[in-house]
Amino acid sequence: MIRPDVLKEPIRLVELSGFVLTERVHEPNGSMPEHAHDLTSIALVIEGPYLETIGRHTQECNRNTIQILPAGESHSFDFGRERVHCLTIDVKPQRLEALRPFSKLLDQTIQVQEMRLPAVAARVLNEMLLKNSSSLLFIEGLVLELLGDAERTKMHSAPSSQPRWLCLVRDLIQARFAEKISLVDIATSVGVHPTHLAQTFRRHFKCSVGEYVRLLRLEHAAQELLRSDTPVAEVALSAGFYDQSHFSRAFKLYTGRTPAEFRAAGKLIRYKEHSFLQ
């Protein structure tokens, strides 16, 4: 089905009893020609956006997008001016049969926006790093959690399209999540009443503005912990938390591990991958 020359080499690829998890980063201004996967896939967009074409339909995939494609569904990608970071979970047939009773989405081509995706994706990536005896159980549970969230989002999604000002609100929050910014400030910047903004935001994104800001801060902090040696207190402040204690409590709820444990797991795996002493 899928040509090996089509896909960029993954950052990380892990097979765990029926799941094939692949983490990739695509550089800006590229594309991927039409191809199909042998297995049903669940794609999680961690950073975006990009355009995906399935048949005659082209749609934008951005951060927080969950895309489910049944095996054999052809699609292609066009990447814009931003880097794209994604995680794909391919489900082997035996595992697919085991999951079907829990979700009706696995046999459909479907895209949903799920605001809790960064939190769940971070936990999946962390289990990929650890890859220990309990990782399969964690990942299976997280996949079911994602499918459940996606199904609820699809069921309750509003039929009307997002108002243009709501897209501006999302962009503003993503650009200024580390700053002290109030709901009134955001509402004033787009010219709507704060109450209307709060209600509309929750209806479309399935979380409050405050919850969305916290997810962005935690996602930023998780990436910073893995790619730098910046002290945890400084990471907390740079992400917008007022102190390390508050950050550590929120981060453990977000990933299941303290910031120090999360960072140590990532460093251990990178050492093993590059060590000549294996």
DSSP, residue by residue, the chain: ---TTTSPPPSEEEEETTEEEEEEEE-SS-EEEEE--SSEEEEEEEE--EEEEETTEEEEE-TTEEEEE-TT--EEEEE-SS-EEEEEEEE-HHHHHHHGGG-S-TTS-EEEE-TTHHHHHHHHHHHHHH--TTHHHHHHHHHHHHHHHHHHHHHH--SSPPPHHHHHHHHHHHHHTTS---HHHHHHHHTS-HHHHHHHHHHHHSS-HHHHHHHHHHHHHHHHHHH----HHHHHHHHT-S-HHHHHHHHHHHHSS-HHHHHHHHHHHHHHHH-TT-
The confidence score (pLDDT) of residue 126 equals 75
> Contact 259/220 with Cβ under 8 angstroms?
no
Higher-confidence residue of 121 and 70: namely 70
Structure tokens at 191: 């010219």
Structure tokens at 17: 């009893």
Cα-Cα end-to-end distance for the chain: 35
Higher-confidence residue of 228 and 270: namely 228
Q: With 60 as the cut, is the pLDDT of residue 227 above it?
A: yes
Beta pairing class for 40-47 and 31-35? unpaired
Nearest partner of 219 among 190, 261, 262, judged by Cα = 262
Dist CA 261 CA 177 (whole Å): 25
CA of residue 193 relative to chain centroid, distance? 30
Once rounded to an integer, what is the mean pLDDT over residues 238-263? 88
Residue 240 region by backbone torsions, left for phi larger than 0, else alpha for psi between -120 and 50, else beta? left
Highest mean pLDDT among 47-51, 176-180, 206-210, 253-257: 176-180
Once rounded to an integer, what is the mean pLDDT over residues 152-174? 76
> Contact 27/10 with Cβ under 8 angstroms?
no
Locus of tokens 């049969």: 97
Least confident segment among 38-42, 98-102, 191-195? 98-102
Interval 74-98: pLDDT, tens: 999 999 888 888 889 999 998 888 8
Locus of tokens 């009134």: 184
Higher-confidence residue of 151 and 18: namely 18
Residue 208 region by backbone torsions, left for phi larger than 0, else alpha for psi between -120 and 50, else beta? beta
Mean pLDDT of the chain: 81
The confidence score (pLDDT) of residue 124 equals 81
Q: With 90 as the cut, is the pLDDT of residue 232 above it?
A: yes
CA of residue 66 relative to chain centroid, distance? 8
Interval 93-146: pLDDT, tens: 988 888 887 777 888 888 887 766 767 777 787 777 776 667 777 777 877 777
Binning pLDDT at 50, 70 and 90, where does residue 12 land? confident
Binning pLDDT at 50, 70 and 90, where does residue 6 land? very low
% of the chain exceeding 70 in pLDDT? 87
Nearest partner of 205 among 252, 169, 250, 255, judged by Cα = 169
